Structure 1
Amino acid sequence: MSLSTKNVSVTNFVLMGLVEIESFGYVCAVLALALFSFTLFLTSMIVYVTWTEKSLHEPMYILICVLVINVMFGNASYFPKLAIDLFSGCSTISYTGCLCQSFCLQLYSWVEMYTFTVMAYDRYLAVGHPLRYHTLMTNGTAKKISLAIYVFNVVIIIVSVLLTLRLTFCGVNINNVFCEIVSIQPLACNDITINVLYGTSLALFNFISCLLVIMYCYIRTVIICLKLSAESSKKAMHTLMTHILAFSIYIVLVLFIVFRYSLSTGSVLTKVDIIIPLIGTGIATSVNPLIYGIRTKALREKIVCNLYKMVGKLK
């Protein structure tokens, strides 16, 4: 299919990124499946030990579970289709499938941001108000906040999808390996001003408000940690640095992808234009389970213990 200036009734889009990497598609497909399988396994272990171990029934671990489950959700909306398309040589996606994938990836992205925000606030409460912490942040509160995050983001993203549904398209070539609303908007025949204004204002509001809360909580927590005893400070800072590391990687990769779109020139893709965002997206949707599984001592010990039990049963 070629890009046309004629108004057409689009039933399928062409993912030009898949066409560009077709020559080494099998390698990318194997890597995608390996990364997906590893993330699924590690996420399952984190959720399992948190669910079964009563000592981990705390707000922090509940929020970590929400974070890694969301990572798996983002992974599942991206990697399986990518691998199947690369193995089969298919480079198209249906209009409905495109909107569904756009919805899922956008939901993953914003739920991730809001969950990091709540985790930063949780750590601030734990360090800054230790005597009131179990009153201010209970397991029930953590669950309700997590549910509210999903409901809020589902609603605002549905509006974005509905605005996209009113568009008709003059082209079918998407310069990416997956569907995003910002990727298909330039293909529209009609005016997309409302879509762009809604998407941009929403992104700026979400990003800036969450970032300000996170920075305030982190700074306040660090200041309080400096006043604690050496042992208490070390423990609190280790947990805080784990959150900061995971959040920093997420922010860097998000900004990288945004700048990639902003600096993109022309409609012709190169392998570099595809491979770098492909790697970046893969890291963004996989790194959190690894970070929390390794750096969180309680989780690491319980995961290792359960793995030993599994190996023992196999023997």
Structure 2
Amino acid sequence: MLNSTQVSYFTLAAYFDTGVFKYLYFMIVMSLYMLIICANVLLIVVICMNRSLHEPMYLFLCSLFVNELYGSTGLFPFLLVQILSDIHTVSAPLCFLQIFCLYSYASVEFFNLAIMSYDRYLAICCPLHYNTRMTSHKITLLIAVTWLYAYVICFVPITLSVPLQLCSNIINKVYCDNYSIVKLACYNTTVINIYGLTATALIVSCPVTLIFYTYIKILQVCFSGSKQTRQKAVSTCTPHLASLLNFTVGAGFELVQHRFDMSRVPNMLRIFLSLYWLTCQPLFNSVMYGLKMSNIRIICKNMFFA
């Protein structure tokens, strides 16, 4: 039996021998990572360097793009090393650091999408009071609370998991996951499970409540407003809804793998489903907002083709 003092590393059992194809997978993942870095950095620079984009919507987008870089950096370098490695192990401190990065990334992503829905609600439903309600102080406070709240709520379950006595050190995934580690514990983990469920409920319920409320109000305005109002609502809310749907579907894939037996699913498909929300969301957001937002699109075109 292993205990917490003996577990100095974890083995990631979801990897399989790909032979010479590992170099192909490495190049594919490296290309995806570089594309994510370039796209998000470009959009952050465009927003920061152009005063015309220093508006609430674009500042929230900037926070979203920074989070995409943060989450991608928590996954991709680790993934690239593991693809080339013959022994898929990771030290316990690095494993818990990755867990914190990925969990806080997901929390910030969801909270950020929630405050973006609130911003769209004010712009569409209260246009005359928008500038007085969405002040620079309020924007700073919303972004700061989003990041700090996500860090705090994700830090506690990890500190509860670190001292656990484990009966195994094998994680059946391609990256570190706190839920998978808790399942390896040699004794009852009711306290950690209760906190995990509570934290998940807080992470999900608050943003979901805000998103549902704001979109119900937006729909009411659309149905009772003019054609111009409906067009404005559609053009500004479509990228946000697409991003929210993409993230929710990806997170849903991950939750399904936690709760149900996926042993009959092909290994390659399981890996893809578990990585979808961490790899596709950062690229999806940058492409979606870069192409959909006319102001960003025009400035980028002027930068490269002027």
- 1:107-128 CA deviation, whole Å, 9 max, x = no partner? 0000111111100011001111
Question: Is the 1:114–1:149 Cα contact (8 Å) retained in structure 2?
Answer: yes
**What's the CA shift for 1:278?**
2.9
**What's the CA shift for 1:272?**
3.0
Question: Is the 1:225–1:237 Cα contact (8 Å) retained in structure 2?
Answer: no
Alignment of 1:32-47 (within 5 A): 32-47=29-44
Structure 1 stretch displaced more, 253-262 or 223-232:
223-232
Instruction: For 2:177 and 2:229, locate their aligned partners in 1 and report how far apart those are by CA, in whole Å.
Output: 44
Equivalent residue in structure 1 for 2:164, among 138, 162, 167: 167
Question: Is the 1:62–1:143 Cα contact (8 Å) retained in structure 2?
Answer: no
Unaligned stretches of 5+ residues in structure 1: 310-315
What amino acid does structure 2 have at the position aligned with 1:242? P
Equivalent residue in structure 2 for 1:177, among 169, 174, 180: 174
Equivalent residue in structure 1 for 2:121, among 121, 124, 128: 124
**After TM superposition, which residue ranges in structure 1, 4 or more long, deviate above 4 angstroms?**
20-23, 265-269
* Pairing 1:212–2:209 present: yes
Unaligned stretches of 5+ residues in structure 2: none
Instruction: For 2:305 and 2:278, locate their aligned partners in 1 and report how far apart those are by CA, in whole Å.
Output: 32
The match for 1:264 is 261
Question: Is the 1:13–1:172 Cα contact (8 Å) retained in structure 2?
Answer: yes
- 1:200-223 CA deviation, whole Å, 9 max, x = no partner? 111022212211210111121122
**What's the CA shift for 1:26?**
2.4
Look up the SS of the partner of 1:162 in the other structure: helix
Equivalent residue in structure 2 for 1:30, among 27, 30, 52: 27
- 1:228-267 CA deviation, whole Å, 9 max, x = no partner? 3323421221111111111011111111110122112569
Q: 1:100 to 1:268 in 2, by over 3 A?
A: farther
The match for 1:102 is 99
* Pairing 1:158–2:155 present: yes
Q: 1:260 to 1:284 in 2, by over 3 A?
A: farther
Alignment of 1:285-304 (within 5 A): 285-304=282-301
The match for 1:313 is none
* Pairing 1:308–2:300 present: no
The match for 2:135 is 138
The match for 1:51 is 48
The match for 2:3 is 7
**What's the CA shift for 1:288?**
1.1
**What's the CA shift for 1:20?**
5.7
Equivalent residue in structure 2 for 1:200, among 188, 197, 200: 197
After superposition, the CA RMSD in angstroms is 2.0
TM-score, with length taken from structure 1 = 0.90
What amino acid does structure 1 have at the position aligned with 2:74? S
The match for 2:223 is 226
TM-score, with length taken from structure 2 = 0.93
**What's the CA shift for 1:148?**
1.1
**What's the CA shift for 1:67?**
0.7
The match for 2:67 is 70
**What's the CA shift for 1:74?**
0.6
Question: Is the 2:157–2:196 Cα contact (8 Å) retained in structure 1?
Answer: yes
Question: Is the 1:15–1:177 Cα contact (8 Å) retained in structure 2?
Answer: yes
- 1:93-149 CA deviation, whole Å, 9 max, x = no partner? 110000000000000000111111100011001111111111111233212211111
* Pairing 1:246–2:223 present: no
Instruction: For 1:178 and 1:296, locate their aligned partners in 2 and report how far apart those are by CA, in whole Å.
Output: 34
Instruction: For 1:190 and 1:268, locate their aligned partners in 2 and report how far apart those are by CA, in whole Å.
Output: 30
Identical aligned pairs, as a percentage? 27
Instruction: For 1:268 and 1:237, locate their aligned partners in 2 and report how far apart those are by CA, in whole Å.
Output: 38
